[in-house]
Amino acid sequence: MTSQIPVKAQNAPTDRAAEVLGGPVSDTSLRRYLEGIPGVDAVGLEARAASLGTRSIKTTSKARALDTIISLIDLTTLEGADTPGKVRSLVAKALTPDAADPTCPRVAAVCVYGDMVASAVDALGASHGLDTAPGGINVAAVATAFPSGRASRSVKLADTAEAVAAGADEIDMVIDRGAFLSGRYGEVFDEIVAVKEACRRPDGRYAHLKVILETGELNTYDNVRRASWLSILAGGDFIKTSTGKVAPAATLPVTLSMLEVVRDWYRLTGERIGVKPAGGIRTSKDAIKYLVTVAETTGVEWLQPHLFRFGASSLLNDVLLQRQKLSTGHYSAPDYVTID
């Protein structure tokens, strides 16, 4: 895992995986590689996560941290009762998080079900797209029979293609946890590759693919590490902890484990992959722990929307509250060890 392999980021996933695996991609070669990855020292991982969780940025930089958190949020509504009106309200909040403060940054994206993508795109108007509009906001769509992933591959690919055709900039897919836990790594790999291809637009560009591991169902840190490597080998642009529908969702140790994989992949190939913890991150206090963990593990260059996101529905409200308290002077910083 430490040798340098000249993998090009623009290579097709199967070509990229073949270079890393040292030969053709197959269920056997994937199993040999993934099961050869050193096991996770669970005690050490949890101790490091706990240590990072006691640190904070300096009080004088807290305002910047709160703004950074806002800029990294995927503001989410994923309920069966979602309507176009609810999505429009979500977009309004994403565009103007604090109506009383025009300096408040916008979130990175809104995340909705595929059938709500058109409503989100329409509501965003000229502000649609992080890459195309100043202060723009992406539209992310959950797909592939989210959250269970229990559907035929043809249904999953159609789900993805329809969301991309409707204007989704990002697709959040779920892996087949049953196949993964049964050791059918080739099946999981092939499905991610196929979904990645379904993200292709008519102009040849691709919607970004976030691969949801559903870590609460993977049971061990070793499985989280293997699933992270498998998802990146198959072409995922991001690895994401959870759907938010299964407990436990995002945890600091699990996210740290995924960040370590992303760090190691960068050292191996020179390619940067994103990480998205999702589910259960509700307070600015908790979000700051994740910022510190990212900065200490992969580096501060990962603290930008194309490399790190928070999947959240209620986090924004607490961050805005803390931001308002800080600006009025009625804010008491937590008693953490501070780091530069």
Query: What confidence score (pLDDT) does residue 330 get?
Result: 56
Residues known to be catalytic: 172, 240, 276
Percent of the chain with pLDDT over 70: 93
User: Which residue's entry shows tokens 């976030």?
Assistant: 210
Q: Is the pLDDT of residue 7 over 80?
A: no
Query: In the predicted model, what is the mean pLDDT of residues 143-150?
Result: 97
Give 20-36 pLDDT, tens digit per residue. Answer: 999 999 999 999 999 99
Instruction: Give the amino acid at 5.
Output: I
- CB of 8 closer than 8 Å to CB of 235: no
User: What is the pLDDT averaged over residues 2-10?
Assistant: 38
Residues 195, 156 contacting (CB under 8 angstroms): yes
* Domain spans of the chain, in order of start: 13-328
* pLDDT number for residue 11: 56
Count Cβ neighbours within 10 Å for each residue of 46-57 and write b for 16 or more, e otherwise. bebbeebbebbb
* 233, containing H or E segment: helix 221-233
pLDDT of residue 5: 36
What is the reported pLDDT for 281? 97
Give domain 13-328's CATH superfamily: Aldolase class I (3.20.20.70)
pTM beyond 0.95: the answer is: no
Looking at residue 82, its pLDDT comes to 97
DSSP helix, strand, coil percent of the chain (3-state; round to 5):
50, 15, 40
Average pLDDT value for the chain: 92
How far is CA 249 from each of CA 27, 31, 173, 313, rounded to the nearest angstrom? 29, 26, 16, 14
Pairwise CA distance, residues 32 & 28, whole Å = 6
For residues 240-263, average pLDDT: 97
Phi, psi of 52 (to 5 degrees): -65, -30
**Structure confidence by residue, pLDDT tens digits, 297-313:** 999 999 999 999 999 98
Mean per-residue pLDDT, 93-116: 96
